[in-house]
Chains A and B, each alone.
Chain A
Amino acid sequence: GENVEQHPSTLSVQEGDSAVIKCTYSDSASNYFPWYKQELGKGPQLIIDIRSNVGEKKDQRIAVTLNKTAKHFSLHITETQPEDSAVYFCAASGPSGGSYIPTFGRGTSLIVHP
């Protein structure tokens, strides 16, 4: 099955700095790579996603890059703000027997210091 590794587990930055979270995956058939943000006591919510036919996608201060050859993808947050503090999860999924089970990384706790 798919295996997703996520680094770092904790990331501490000053407000205004950039933050980068990296993930690798193992299944070359995976074709969908979402990123989720989880605030304390809540369920994860999608913040950005990328599909295998695209190398980069941006949405205001956040961007995701995908390198299919190397099987890694990254989340970039620029001009970080205290409200960006949360746990971030990467995931990978694809047509594995038609079930589309997303496999998640272990999460990164992002702390933005004002």
Chain B
Amino acid sequence: SQTIHQWPATLVQPVGSPLSLECTVEGTSNPNLYWYRQAAGRGLQLLFYSIGIDQISSEVPQNLSASRPQDRQFILSSKKLLLSDSGFYLCASATRRDTEAFFGQGTRLTVV
């Protein structure tokens, strides 16, 4: 099975500061990778997905961007954080064959 490493676990950042969240995957190659945000209310909102290196699709227009510089590395970034960017960010990975999604432990981002 796959293991998703996501860090940091908790982050407090001032408004206007940059952001970089990193996610790496073990146990598979060429996975689909996803970034989700979970705001209060529990729903999982898909932000970005990637089917390969440098292939990123955005689901929601926002203040964030994503990059995939290596096959098993997925990065979520922002140049200037907004208060509304606060939330619980989850990275996930799925192979085309299995389709089960494996999640990281999440990053709790608080923008102050």
Contacts and interface: CB of A to CB of B under 8 A. Distances in A.
Interface of A: 32, 34, 36, 38, 41-46, 49, 87, 89, 91, 93, 98-104, 106-107, 109
A102 B41 contact: no
10 contacts: A38-B42, A42-B105, A43-B92, A43-B104, A43-B106, A44-B103, A45-B103, A98-B96, A99-B57, A102-B34
Contacts of A36: 101, 103
Q: Mostly helix, strand, loop or mixed at chain B's interface?
A: strand
A41 B90 CA distance: 11
Categorize the interface residue count of chain B: 20 to 34
Interface string B42-55: 11101001010000
B94 interface: yes
Contacts of B42: 38, 87, 106-107, 109
Nearest to B49: A101
A38 B90 CA distance: 12
A99 B108 CA distance: 27
